[in-house]
Amino acid sequence: MALGKTKLALKDYETVFKARPNDKDAKLKFNECSKIVRQQAFERAIAVDTVKKSVSESINIDSMAVESTYTGPHLVNGRVTLEFMQELMDAYKDQKKLHRKYAFQILLEVAELFKAQPSLIDVTIPEDSKFTVCGDIHGQFYDLMNIFKLNGLPSTENPFLFNGDFVDRGSFSVECIFTLFGFKLLYPNHFFMARGNHESQTMNQMYGFEGEVKSKYSSQMAELFTEVYNWLPLCHCLNQRVLVMHGGLFSRDGITLEDIRITDRNRQPPEEGIMCELLWSDPQPMKGRSPSKRGVGIQFGPDVTARFLEHNHLDYIVRSHEVKSDGYEEAHDGKCITVFSAPNYCDTMGNKGAFITMNGKDMKPHFTTYEAVPHPDVKPMAYANSMMSLFG
């Protein structure tokens, strides 16, 4: 169900409901899933069978007026400045909203920026410079602000890479994504963002981001986000020594950096292949490969990691995608590092968050861990699909 395979899920729910007709939980989930399947069938039936114009082409920024009553930050000549970013973060801390005109402007501009980039970004870190890698943020805006408090704001001297899953689950995802996109526009060559498995339409429909965007803005903006996410790079190679991706490695040996670089990413994540596995795979302690417990991607062992690194002349990989109690984990003899930056994930997990810093000279990872900070009383998954709210 969580993968958006509603028809397959309905078959299973029907089997359970028939076997346990008096089970309230089984009945509730079967009925809810039936409703979603019927709704999807209705939407397909009324859809106009024509080539759909992209949302970005249908948006007219000039027609959007900024009301005199608006007291939030303003883009000056359509440009993001440091002053704008500081005002934006302050406004978000006070639970205020960015005007829709500026929100659309940021989305259209950042889409053009990502479109011009390959699927694998090569990043050069000077010998005496610090570089920071953050993992999943998942809509935890106040914890994102704490990262900047601990590590300094992004700048040309303080570059960052955010490694996917910026949104969903946490109910301040809109605030997170506009903050991150704003810094991308301000420092295009010193602020990096990679796609995670949650930067996809199915995940966003299920886990809250689409509902949050519709609530705070509009369904048109939710569609535009889907277009923008399709252009996010898939991974980053730091100083030709460290490969950073959201999920993990591949179902076969022999994959090269060039194979990743030329991967067509302007689409929803497929269910197999390089793009899928970069977004979904997980490490395992035993050698070899196994089917993923997630139902998508694979699990890969230390021998798979070692062969990939040797084949591509790399030192180690950094990935995210999994909650870790300390916010990070070194696996596969230190060659596969997980970093997860959302502390007390979903307000329930009790985990620490972490980020990695390294310098360009030795590229050794250093870990900073931190606890969750308080946030306004809006529960995680507040905007999620009604079906997902049944899984408490």
92/80 Cα distance (integer angstroms) = 16
240/119 Cα distance (integer angstroms) = 15
- The DSSP bridge partners found for residue 130 are 359
If you search the block for the tokens 């790399």, which residue do you land on? 314
- The DSSP bridge partners found for residue 155 are 158
For this structure, is 198 an active site residue?
Answer: yes
Continuous segment of H or E residues that includes residue 145: helix 141-151
356/120 Cα distance (integer angstroms) = 20
Q: Using the 8-state DSSP alphabet, how is residue 352 labeled?
A: P
87/78 Cα distance (integer angstroms) = 15
3-class SS of residue 321:
coil
- Write the single-letter amino acid at 337: I
Q: Using the 8-state DSSP alphabet, how is residue 53 labeled?
A: P
Length of the chain: 392
Candidates 99, 138, 190, 198; catalytic one: 198
Residue among 64, 232, 82, 230 at smallest CA distance from 153: 82
Could you give the C-alpha distances from 259 to 106, 127, 199, 250, 307, in angstroms and in order? 31, 28, 22, 12, 16
Residue among 45, 197, 179, 227 at smallest CA distance from 136: 197
Catalytic residue IDs: 198
